[in-house]
Chain A
Amino acid sequence: MRGLSKLGRRLVGDAPPRVLWSLALLLAVLLVAPAALGKYWLSVLILVLYFAYVGQAWNILMGFAGQLSLGHALYAGLGGYIAAGLYFHYGIGPWAGLFAGVAAAAAAGAVVGFLGFRFSLAGVYFALLTIAFSEFTRLAFDHWAWAGGSGGLFLKVGSGSDLWNLRGGAVMFYYLILALSVGAFVLCRLLLQSRIGQYWLAIREDAEAAQAVGVPVLRAKMIAIVLSAALTALAGVWNAFYYNNLFPETAFAMGRSIEITLAPIIGGLGTLFGPFVGAVVLTGLGEAFTDVGEVLKVPGIKQIFYGLALLVIVMYRPAGVWPWLADRLGLKERQR
């Protein structure tokens, strides 16, 4: 019990009551949302939470530890493919299969991390390494019969709801991704309030100075990438069972990796609320411009507007939307 209350104190920290109340209210709204929302809005909200979650996972590596990965589709793809493949071939349920998927992704993260960090690849060179691994894996899966090759892997769509095999409707997947998002948020908050979180920030700011004050730089970076990969793999498992199909061309696509980075970049790198705020902004803009595109009937107009909107945000709020918003809300730097 004492451990639990200590954990609680660390979680709450010096957050002002109005922030806690707002968060509680937001959570309550999200919990009852499916009852009030139609199919369309529920699917939009699912997208928001998905991007908030994978953004949070990616943010551990980039936002906290300062290491740019442009290959996170690798981890999501591995998680999804392995859990789906085990279910498809052997009937092993996703709750068991996810352990294999997460372990594979964590191992892949460890390999990428070790090669990159041990040999001091920094910045764009590390990013290139992450892209390369993601691309290799895409090519391998293209030719791997067990995973369905380039023709893809399809899960049977059953009727009714079966939580144990993750067969069911949008509401079930909504609550799963909500649980993941909340869990990742809490985990990241705890990490930032702990030794390893502080070490990551120090490495992000200046690795040489960090090492001089005793930070074991290589180990801390390895923990960041393995954890980030493992969390991303969970999103991959969720994704595979939600959409019921997997193709190497999309699961390991460069675009998928970029997509993962957008919410935290738009929302605010290295901030706890950034991925969520960014996901709301991005999904909102995406849906709005889809409507605009349908009204204007100009093909591709959605992408153009969407790109321009991102450009404007990055130009005028280079630190992200959340730090600016937090300022407006009168929150202090350390309370974000």
Chain B
Amino acid sequence: MSGARLELNAIGKSFRGLRAVHDVSFAVPAGTIQALIGPNGAGKTTIFNMIAGVFAPDLGTVTLDGRVISGLRPDRICDAGVGRTFQLVKPFKGLSVLENVTIGALHRRPDLGAARDHAAAILSRLGLHDRRHQLAESLTLPDRKRLEVARALATDPKLLLLDEVMAGLRPTEVDVMVAFLRELNASTGLTILLIEHVMRAVMALAAHIVVVSSGEKIAEGAPQDVVRNQAVLDVYLGEPEDA
């Protein structure tokens, strides 16, 4: 599968002998939106952390545009073009919304002025512009999720990793976020990989879904095929949806 933006080649990770992820491979072609789903504890966030460099895989490699990035530090992986959000949001609480995003924008901008302008533009697109001078800690959860996306986008990623950015949003807010991501993907060609429990968002966004359970990939394919897959139904969709 050459030509993929992101490629996971048989990656595995254990924590103190406990196998969190085992032999997971999949690819995300450039310009697509892909979803990574699975029950709680399936290893989705561990996979994200291996892509983002929080820790290196014990086995296998991660490549971005054909270049191996596994084993690099998180800031180097950001250099390489991967932006990420955190499942448990991590805003710079004591700083303003604008400063939060400006710090992300500094990454590829020569000075603070240029970074601020870029940050302000991103905040407008995410509907946070009016709140730009508020401290991040004063934001509501939906706004913190938006801030998380804005800060990651400000680093000008080639690949955006979104870890449950819809969780905690009301259905109308989910629709707004879905529309934003879809428009972003269409207008800039940004490749997006998202972990998501909100199936409504997954079905609306993803062209391709990878399903993991107990640390292993159990299925992948087009959304309409995946939801009919018996193995998937057994472990995941059979459970009450926690959307």
Q: Do B152 and A213 touch across chains, with their CB atoms under 8 A apart?
A: yes
Given contacts A194-B112, A206-B90, is CB(A213)–CB(B155) below 8 Å?
Answer: yes
- Chain A residues near B78 (CB-CB < 8 A): 211-214
The tally of residues in A whose CB lies under 8 Å from a CB in B reads 23
Q: Does B67 contact A (CB under 8 A)?
A: no
Secondary structure of the A contact surface, majority rule: helix
> Considering the chains assembled together, what is the distance between the CA atoms of A103 and B84 in angstroms?
40
Q: A198-B103, A212-B84, A213-B104 are in contact. Are A205 and B154 (CB under 8 A)?
A: no
Most buried by A among B73, B96, B102, B106: B106
Are A214 and B95 closer than 8 Å at their CB atoms? no
| B74 close to A (CB within 8 Å) | yes
Q: Tell me, yes or no, whether B220 is within 8 Å of chain A by CB.
A: no
The answer to whether B103 and A199 have CB atoms under 8 Å apart is yes
Interface core residue of B79, B86, B112, B155 (most chain A CB under 10 Å): B112
Q: Are B52 and A212 in contact (CB under 8 A)?
A: yes
Q: Is B127's beta carbon under 8 Å from chain A?
A: no
Instruction: Contact check, B112 vs A195: say whether CB atoms are below 8 A apart.
Output: yes
Q: Mark B78-113, 1 if CB is under 8 A from A, else 0.
A: 110001101000111111100100111011000110
Report which residue of B84, B94, B102 has the largest number of chain A beta carbons within 10 angstroms of its beta carbon: B94
Instruction: Find the B residue at minimum CB distance from A332.
Output: B133
User: Which size class do B's interface residues fall under?
Assistant: 20 to 34
Cβ of A188 within 8 Å of any chain B Cβ, yes or no, is no
Q: B93 to chain A: which residues have CB within 8 Å?
A: 205-206
> Quick one: which of A121-159 are within 8 Å of B by CB?
none
By the criterion CB–CB under 8 Å, are B96 and A215 in contact? Answer: no
Residues of B close to A206: CB separation below 8 A:
90-93
B73 partner residues in chain A, CB cutoff 8 A: 211
Residue of A202, A214, A333 with most partner-chain B CB within 10 A = A214
Per-position binary interface string of chain A over residues 94-122, scored 1 when its CB falls under 8 Å from any chain B CB and 0 otherwise: 00000000000000000000000000000
Q: Looking at the complex, which one of A195, A201, A208 makes contact with B99 (CB distance below 8 Å)? A: A201
Q: Which residues of B contact A205 (CB under 8 A)?
A: 91-95
B133 in contact with A334 (CB, 8 Å): yes
A215 to B75: give the CA distance in the assembly, Å: 6
**Taking the complex as formed, is A25 at the interface, i.e. its CB lies under 8 A from any CB of chain B?**
no
The reply on B151 being an interface residue by CB < 8 A is: yes
In the docked arrangement, what's the CA distance between A43 and B177, Å? 62
Q: Which residues of A contact B92 (CB under 8 A)?
A: 201-202, 205-206, 209-210
**Residues A198 and B102 in contact in the complex (CB < 8 Å), given A209-B90, A214-B79, A216-B75:** yes
Residue in chain A with minimal CB distance to B54: A208
Q: Is the CB of B103 within 8 A of A193?
A: no
Min Cβ gap B60→A in Å is: 22
Q: Are A193 and B112 in contact (CB under 8 A)?
A: yes
Assess whether A198 is in contact with B106, with CB atoms less than 8 Å apart.
yes
Which residues of B from 100 to 132 have beta carbons under 8 Å from A?
A: 102-104, 106-107, 111-112
Residues of A within 8 A of B79 (CB): 214
Query: Can you name 28 A-B pairs with beta carbons within 8 Å?
Result: A195-B111, A195-B112, A198-B99, A198-B102, A198-B106, A198-B112, A201-B92, A202-B92, A205-B93, A205-B94, A206-B93, A208-B54, A208-B86, A209-B151, A210-B92, A211-B75, A212-B52, A212-B78, A212-B83, A212-B84, A212-B86, A213-B78, A213-B83, A213-B107, A215-B75, A215-B103, A334-B96, A334-B133
* B residues whose Cβ falls under 8 Å from a Cβ of A: 52, 54, 73-75, 78-79, 83-84, 86, 90-96, 99, 102-104, 106-107, 111-112, 133, 135, 151-152, 154-155
Apart from A205-B92, A209-B92, A213-B83: 12 A-B pairs, beta carbons within 8 A: A195-B106, A201-B94, A205-B93, A205-B95, A206-B90, A212-B74, A212-B86, A213-B103, A213-B104, A214-B106, A214-B107, A214-B155
Ranked nearest first, the 3 interchain pairs of A and B with the lowest CB-CB distance are A205-B92, A214-B78, A214-B107
Chain A residues proximal to chain B, CB less than 8 Å: 193-195, 198-199, 201-202, 204-206, 208-217, 332-334
